[in-house]
Amino acid sequence: MKVKYFHDTATALIEFSTRAVAETKEINENIYIDLDATGNLVAITIEHADLHANLPDLF
C-alpha cells in the first residue's frame, strides 16, 4: 500500500496495488475508487482530504 498526498490540491491517493485501472467509480463528489478488470480495489482518491479526512498525522 502506498499513500500520496498532493498539498497543492489537498488530494490523498491511497494505492492498494499496481494493477491496471479498468474503471473509476464516484462514491460521492470527493471520493473515487479505482477498480481493476475483475472488480478488485486498486486505489482510493479523496479530494479536499484536508476537509474530509483526518490525514494530517500521515503527512
Tens of pLDDT, residues 19-53: 999 999 999 999 999 999 999 999 999 999 888 66
CA gap 41, 19 in Å, rounded:
9
Q: Which three cell numbers stand for residue 31?
A: 471520493
- Residue that has been written with the C-alpha cell 498539498 in this structure: 7
Look at the block and give the residue holding cell 494505492.
Answer: 15
Q: Nearest-CA neighbor of 13 among 47, 38, 45?
A: 45
State the pLDDT at residue 50: 82
Say what the pLDDT of residue 51 is: 81
What is the C-alpha to C-alpha distance for residues 4 and 57, in angstroms, rounded to an integer? 13
Amino acid at 30: N
Residue 59 has pLDDT above 80, yes or no: no
